[in-house]
Structures are given as structure tokens and as C-alpha cells.
């Protein structure tokens, strides 16, 4: 086999592999191998672009089969970009920028997966004192982390605590009053969520939902079924509410996946990252393997003042800091994604397979 023939074989095999990883996530099968391909779309788009350049440089595109290979690669590149491009500044923002300077109508939230074995609590506490969030949400926080986080209680006297050593502990500390708080295990034993009403400085009550469903992985859940069910029932529980709503946490899913899009469609909640950036919060230690796992969604009652990824504090996640303004009149003009009949049927199927429903989700204050 000549060098040219060998190169053709290599590029052909690379194209076939690219087609496989591009098309496989379109299959809604919950196996972790399938769902895991939702995550590295930016990386796959980069590889597709490099492969296309190699084909342009090394293949004789006048030959029909080579032209087809290059066209297929370009189609895969376009397919990957379609998923991620809304999370770049070239896309119109989904949430309006705030034009309100009234501090009584603002809320800031720092969401941080601390990584249970991480012992750099002081680094996180310094970020809290630097950014002064109204609400701190920690995921994977155990009793050791709780002892250190409790030093914030002078400044943040309202809290919800669920220390666990199974990587699913969760804590909320707040400067603003938390009312009707509840800890719930919606789908899996040992995987909590937290639900409460938070009273803004102007007296408005906001329904808060803090989530950290288990990821699809060969070491935890071989399928995404449990994660998907939790997201679906929370989305259905908040849909159509007139009450302001915020959902935040480490959803163990990327912003652009079909499951997170289904969550947005069903809930009617908005994503302030759309049109602003990806804000890749994981993996903090590997710059070329990063995607957005930590999320904040909100109802139309809010506009966004700022959203940013914070510096590393020793975890495998970066913190996500978001500041919103309560502006229902201005926010009423904002539009998210709409669910159709097939979306609602898919959501029902996901929930039914886990024998859970929107009625299982606490509705604070009702």
C-alpha cells in the first residue's frame, strides 16, 4: 500500500468515526456512551475542522469519493456548530441586559461544585467574600465542608444543609430570607435537591430549586434515565407559574444537550448564557476538556446584570456567579424555547419510566 493510499484509508476511517459520534446523540437512548457524546461538541467541532483542512490539503478532491468525504466532514462540522453556536456572542441574547440600578430588586448567586475531596475551603470562602453573593449554593459538600462553610453564617444567616459523603451533599447559605425550605430526594435515594422561597429585598418571593442529579457514567449510573427524569419533573412542576422562579445547580448535563433543551422547553425558563458565552465550568484542570455543567435558569421576571465563571478554588469545577434584576415588565418581552407535542410525550415517557411526576417536586409556599 502506498503512502497516498494509506492516508486515504486513515482519513476515510476518521470521517466515519466523526459521522458516528455526530449522529449517535440524535438517538435518544439513555446509555452513558450515547449521552456522553452530547458533552464534547466544541472539541468535536474543532476535530472536524482540522480533519476538513487535512482533506483539503492531502486529498485530490476532483475524485468523487474524496469530494464526498470532504462534504460529509463539513456537514458534521456544521452539525456540531448548530448545537453550540447559541452559546457564543454571535447569537442574539435570550435574556436582556439589566437597565435597573435598584439594589432592592437584585439577586446574586454563586453556584459551586466543591469536589468532596478538595480541601481548599479557604479559597472558596475568599471568593464568597470577594464577590459577596446573596446566595451560595455548594454541591458535593460533606460534613467537613459544612464546618468551614458555617463560618459564613454571620454574614449569611439563612441556610439549608444536607451534608453527605457520597458526592451528593448540598448546602445553601443566603443573606436573604429563605422560607418554606425543603430537602427532597426526587428520583434517587441519596441524591438530594433543595427547594425554598427566597424573599428579595423589595419583598418579592422567588421560588428556588437547587439540583444536582447523578450523571450518566460507567461508575455511577450506566444510563441518564435518572438525571433526565429529575430535570423533566422539575421543569414540568415550574411550568406556567406566575411566581418568579430560579433553578440552579450542577445538572451533570451540558447547556446544549437535547435533555437540557427539553428542560427549557417544558419549564419556559430562560438561559442567560444564550448569546453571551458557554461559561464552561468543568473540567477546571484540563483546559481542552471543558463544557458547561453548572447552570442557572430563571423565569421571565428577571433580566441579567452579569454572569461569569470564577477563578479556580481547587475543585474540578469553577464557580458560576450570576447577578439578576427583578424586572417583570421588561422581562415579559423575553422568549425562550417552546415545547411541542413530541416534547411533552417524550417528557412523559422519561418520567413514567422512573415512576416519578411533577407532583413529587415541592412547591414552596403552596
Q: Which pLDDT tens digit goes with each residue over 172-202?
A: 999 999 999 999 999 999 999 999 999 999 9
Q: Residue 199's domain is classified under what CATH number?
A: 3.60.10.10
Q: Do 158 and 215 have their domain in common?
A: yes
For residue 340, which phi and psi values (nearest 5 degrees)? -110, -175
* pLDDT number for residue 1: 63
The pLDDT score that the predictor gives to residue 4 is: 62
Q: pLDDT grade, residue 9 (50/70/90)? A: confident
Q: Indicate if 139 and 66 belong to the same structural domain.
A: no
Residues 30 and 175 both lie in one domain: no
Grid cell 422547553 — which residue?
Answer: 265
pTM of the model: 0.95
3-state secondary structure of 283: coil
Do 67 and 212 belong together in one domain?
Answer: no
Q: How many structural domains compose the chain? A: 2
Do 257 and 108 belong to one domain? Answer: yes
Q: Is residue 94 part of a domain?
A: no
| pLDDT tens per residue across span 255-279 | 999 999 999 999 999 999 999 999 9
Residue 113 belongs to a domain: yes
Instruction: Identify the CA nearest to 265 among candidates 159, 326, 357, 341.
Output: 341
The last residue of a domain, from among 31, 57, 87 = 87
Model confidence at 127: pLDDT above 80: yes
Strands of the chain, DSSP E: 106-113, 135-139, 158-162, 170-174, 178-184, 193-199, 205-211, 245-250, 294-298, 302-309, 320-326
Cell of 230: 429529575
Q: 117 and 61 in one domain?
A: no
Q: Is residue 57 part of a domain?
A: yes
Average pLDDT, the chain: 94
Question: Same domain, yes or no, for 260 and 126?
Answer: yes
Give pLDDT, residue 5: 66
Which domain does 215 fall in, by range?
A: 103-360
182 and 69 in a common domain:
no
- Strand 170-174 relative to strand 205-211: parallel, antiparallel, unpaired? unpaired
Please tell me the predicted confidence (pLDDT) of residue 245: 98
Q: What is the pLDDT of residues 26-53, one digit of tens each?
A: 988 889 899 999 999 999 999 999 999 9
Same domain, 210 and 337: yes
Looking at the structure, do residues 200 and 243 belong to the same domain, yes or no? yes
pLDDT value of position 220: 76
My answer on whether 76 and 135 are in the same domain is no
Cα separation, 203 vs 251, in Å, equals 29
- The answer to the question of residue 92 being in a domain is no
Instruction: Quickly state the pLDDT bin for 157 (edges 50, 70, 90).
Output: very high
Residue 95 covered by a domain:
no
Amino acid at each position: 500500500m502506498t503512502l497516498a493510499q494509506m492516508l486515504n484509508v486513515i482519513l476515510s476511517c476518521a470521517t466515519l468515526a466523526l459521522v458516528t459520534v455526530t449522529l449517535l446523540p440524535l438517538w435518544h437512548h439513555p446509555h452513558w456512551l450515547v449521552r456522553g457524546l452530547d458533552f464534547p461538541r466544541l472539541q468535536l467541532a474543532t476535530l472536524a475542522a482540522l480533519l476538513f483542512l487535512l482533506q483539503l490539503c492531502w486529498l485530490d478532491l476532483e475524485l468523487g469519493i474524496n469530494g464526498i468525504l470532504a462534504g460529509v466532514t463539513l456537514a458534521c462540522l456544521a452539525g456540531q456548530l448548530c448545537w453550540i453556536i447559541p452559546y457564543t456572542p454571535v447569537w442574539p441574547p435570550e435574556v436582556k441586559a439589566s437597565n435597573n440600578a435598584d439594589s432592592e430588586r437584585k439577586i446574586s448567586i454563586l453556584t459551586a461544585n466543591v469536589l468532596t475531596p478538595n480541601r481548599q475551603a479557604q479559597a472558596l470562602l475568599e471568593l464568597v467574600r470577594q464577590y459577596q453573593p446573596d446566595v451560595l449554593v455548594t454541591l458535593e459538600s460533606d460534613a467537613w465542608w459544612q464546618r468551614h462553610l458555617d463560618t459564613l453564617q454571620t454574614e449569611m444567616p439563612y441556610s439549608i444543609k444536607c451534608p453527605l459523603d457520597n458526592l451528593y451533599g448540598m448546602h445553601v447559605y443566603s443573606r436573604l430570607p429563605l422560607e418554606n425550605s425543603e430537602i427532597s430526594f426526587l428520583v434517587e435515594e441519596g441524591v438530594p435537591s433543595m427547594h425554598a422561597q427566597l424573599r428579595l429585598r423589595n419583598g418579592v418571593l422567588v421560588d428556588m430549586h437547587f439540583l444536582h442529579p447523578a450523571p450518566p457514567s460507567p461508575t455511577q449510573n450506566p444510563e441518564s434515565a435518572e438525571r433526565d427524569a429529575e430535570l423533566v419533573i422539575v421543569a414540568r412542576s415550574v411550568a406556567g407559574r406566575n411566581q418568579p422562579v430560579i433553578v440552579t445547580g450542577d445538572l451533570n448535563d451540558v447547556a446544549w444537550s437535547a435533555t437540557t433543551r427539553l428542560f427549557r422547553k417544558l419549564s419556559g425558563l430562560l438561559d442567560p448564557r444564550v448569546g453571551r458565552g458557554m461559561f464552561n465550568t468543568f473540567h477546571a484542570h484540563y483546559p481542552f476538556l471543558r463544557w458547561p455543567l453548572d447552570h442557572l435558569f430563571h423565569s421571565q421576571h428577571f433580566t441579567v446584570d452579569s454572569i461569569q465563571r470564577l477563578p479556580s478554588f481547587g475543585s474540578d469545577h469553577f464557580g458560576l456567579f450570576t447577578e439578576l434584576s427583578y424586572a417583570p415588565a421588561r422581562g415579559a418581552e423575553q422568549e425562550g424555547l417552546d415545547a411541542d407535542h413530541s416534547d411533552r410525550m417524550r417528557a412523559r415517557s422519561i418520567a413514567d419510566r422512573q415512576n416519578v411526576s411533577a407532583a413529587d417536586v415541592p412547591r414552596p409556599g403552596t
